[in-house]
Amino acid sequence: MIRINKTSSRSVQYIAADRFLTEQEIADTGGGSENNDKQQCRSVHRILSLLLLLLIADASNSVGVGGGTGGSGGGGGGGGGGGGGGGGGGSSGSGTCGLAELTCRDGRCVPIDAYCNGEDDCGDGSDEPAMCTPCNRTYHGREGRTYKLDLPRPAEERLPFLCHLTFTAAGQGYGELVQLLWDAFSVGRVDANANNYFTSCPEGSLQLAELGRHFTGGSWCGVGEGRASYYSETSTVTASIRLFHAPSTVPFEFRLRFRFVSRNEAVARLGKPELPVERGSPVPGTYCSRNFYECHLKQCRLQSPNYPGEYPRNASCLITVRQKEVPTCKHAMISVKYTPTGPVSLNAAVNTSLSVWQDCPPERDRLIFRDGARTEDPVLLVYCGGPLPQITARGPAMQVEFRSSPVAIPLGASSLRLELELRVVYVDSDGLDYAKGAQGCHFFINGTGVGAKRSGIIRAPLHALPPASSCTWNIKGAIGDRVWIYFSSYSQRDLTGNGENNASSGQSTMDSTPLSLLCAVKLIFWDGAPNTGQPMATLCDDTPKLCAHAALRNITRSTRPCTEDESYLTAAPSLTLRMETVLGTALHPINFHVIHPLVCVDMSRLVQQFDEFTNIVDNPSSIFKDDFPHFRDHFRSRAQPERSSSLADSRSSLKHLYHSNILAWLKALLGHQKSLLVFTSAISTIAESQKHDVNKSTEFKNAYTQKDAT
């Protein structure tokens, strides 16, 4: 306890009880005077007296210290009337027992949970002192071992009752995280009619707090549901049990098991050591907010706080996902998807019916998905239970807000114990697969310029649209063109499971409108511009005309053209398609595949009309055939005097072209470097109008397949 450093033959610096003596004190002791023997003797006397006092204090401290670390389990006296006999001040012994052990009076070691468990584990009663209580103690444990703790109901005269149980993972074989597993829980009752969360547990409650994390103030009370569990984020967690003047009719049970595990064992939360889970970077100063970056390179998982166990009440977290690295000519979108990775019982949120939007008031736990990284960005979905659909933002950032209600609930009743997978979806930056604006999208497809594509494909956005948004596609052709569109596929789903259940987003624009009168998705077709064109069709949650066999068409396969009942054809050289979604598409996803060739009625431009995707003629001759009288009359009424005015004139023009200069026409076709399918389609058209020359047409076809055009 005392170290003496000899600095010189006549000057001695004394260091006692971790306290350095100042130079003045050394001078006062006579250390700097060589001739004053009387002062030196007085200083030695003072040092010897101090040494004697320190020896006495050291001897007294060594008595009754349980374990090898000197009284880490000391009682502290029972706070709030619940301490009973004060915890016994630790157990006496030789100090050779481990941190997770209790030293009996005879020197034997027993597990730390043997203290005050109602059994004489030591054999001499030293682990069961009079008036003992398991409260107000710190518990340690070895990795791989499970300990038990049973808290009896306090006597009526000891109410109000307050008990603190602290569990610490000390590392080095004593674990890094704490697991609490309740076998029975019943503390007070939940008052569902309470005006605020302070009075929701009138008889008693449980609160959990972790070292180094903000205290949320939330509570659990009532009868627990199932076997609840809690997994700490830090090395120390304290459980505080309160019981007020509860009548004897209110049951009280508190039985739990506790374990201390290493991080390598926490596979459900952290993943396997060889394939760790990226849980994001904690935001300083917050309880559970996190930031995710570059999830295309990592196994990113969005987890509820303290996953896979109970999460604290009255907690709020902001989880922000950003993608900074985006390949050239690509656009990144953040996607969140539920993927069950653990036992189904842990994912309580997916075992119930879907609860969204207005079913998620502030007194319920909920997730809020935003289309962007700010709280001001549009909300895609408010979710509080049930099968969670995949949510995709329109850009490289998404914010997910987690809120647990301040209202108390029974232990084990948390509804959002889940894990979500974070993905990055890439699309072409100049494509039509995502919206450029926050409240919808507008796409302009121009087929009038030199080299412009005469055909293309449009799809529904590959991301979720917020409520009260719309998308518009405007297809414009040159003078003399007609827009011909057909849906090769179309699907619309209602993930709510009921057309009138949970469908409303709670927007003010929909409060006065019955859900049965709302269209989840409305499609409107205009022949021309929306302001000046003529409406062609309006569909409310209905399927448009389908030309399903068009989906089979590819570079090696040609299918019959779509009929009038399978497609839409404009009179003007432009078409506008508008999709409106009042409820958003997160719960009402829509997918469609639309092909939009531009049909030219000027026969002099026939050789220029090719589908850039399938290499077949854009305006198949079948739209002019007799099975399309509406289309035939439509084009005849708008034909110019020098153009073909009927089907016979069109065929006559092709026949004359074949007889007069077939080689020049083939040259024109080959000059566009088109495939055999183009030539085959043209020859078939000629053969149809000139029946007696079928053999000659076949010879041209065979010749083209055997040698180069040159």
Express each pLDDT in 327-338 by its tens digit.
999 999 999 999
Distances (CA, A) of 13 to 3, 35, 51, 156, 644: 9, 18, 15, 60, 119
d(CA 652, CA 659): 11
Residue 451 has pLDDT above 70, yes or no: yes
Helices 676-689 and 694-706: crossing angle in degrees, nearest 10, is 170
Angle subtended at Cα 223 by Cα 222 and Cα 229, rounded to the nearest 5 degrees: 105
Beta partners for 367?
Answer: 383, 402
Helix (H) or strand (E) holding 53: helix 37-61
Beta partners for 446?
Answer: 476
Residue 674 has pLDDT above 80, yes or no: no
3-class state of residue 78 by DSSP: coil
CA nearest 150: which of 187, 125, 113?
113
Q: Where are the domains of the chain?
A: 133-261, 277-428, 441-496+518-611
Residue 167 has pLDDT above 80, yes or no: yes
Of 55-59, 340-344, 383-387, 627-631, give the range with the top mean pLDDT.
383-387
Q: Which long-range contacts (CB under 8 A, 24 or more apart) does 690-694 make?
A: 690/655, 690/658, 693/658
3-class state of residue 26 by DSSP: helix
Output the CATH code of domain 441-496+518-611: 2.60.120.290
Calculate mean pLDDT across residues 343-352. Answer: 51
State the CB neighbour count (10 A cutoff) for residue 9: 7
Give residue 384's pLDDT band: very low, low, confident or very high (50, 70, 90): very high
Does residue 35 contact residue 23 with C-beta atoms inside 8 Å? no
Express each pLDDT in 36-73 by its tens digit.
455 555 565 566 666 655 554 444 333 333 333 333 33
Higher-confidence residue of 444 and 31: namely 444
Examine domains 133-261 and 441-496+518-611 and report if their fold is the same: yes
> What is residue 336's predicted lDDT score, i.e. its pLDDT?
97
Residue 694 has pLDDT above 70, yes or no: no
Calculate mean pLDDT across residues 199-217. Answer: 92
Give residue 450's pLDDT band: very low, low, confident or very high (50, 70, 90): confident
d(CA 664, CA 508): 66
Calculate mean pLDDT across residues 227-246. Answer: 94
Calculate mean pLDDT across residues 450-460. Answer: 86
Residue 385 has pLDDT above 50, yes or no: yes
Residue 269 has pLDDT above 80, yes or no: yes
Q: What fold, for 277-428?
A: Jelly Rolls (2.60.120)
- Of 33-47, 289-303, 352-366, 690-704, the least confident: 690-704
Express each pLDDT in 392-413 by its tens digit.
999 999 999 999 999 999 999 9
> What is residue 192's predicted lDDT score, i.e. its pLDDT?
80
What does residue 168 show for φ and ψ, rounded to 5 degrees? -125, 125
Please state whether beta strands 290-293 and 316-322 pair in parallel, antiparallel, or not at all (unpaired): parallel
Does residue 671 contact residue 706 with C-beta atoms inside 8 Å? no
Helices 647-671 and 676-689: crossing angle in degrees, nearest 10, is 150
Does residue 411 contact residue 228 with C-beta atoms inside 8 Å? yes
Query: What does R_g of the chain's alpha carbons equal in angstroms?
Result: 40
The residues, any chain, with a CB within 8 Å of residue 210's CB and separated by 6 or more, are 232, 233, 234, 236, 237, 238
Angle subtended at Cα 34 by Cα 33 and Cα 35, rounded to the nearest 5 degrees: 100
Higher-confidence residue of 453 and 696: namely 453
Q: What fold, for 133-261?
A: Jelly Rolls (2.60.120)
For the chain, report the end-to-end CA distance as a whole number of angstroms. Answer: 106
DSSP string of 608-654, one letter each residue:
G-B-TTT-SBSS-GGGGSTT-HHHHHHHHHT--TTS--SHHHHHHHH
Give residue 439's pLDDT band: very low, low, confident or very high (50, 70, 90): low
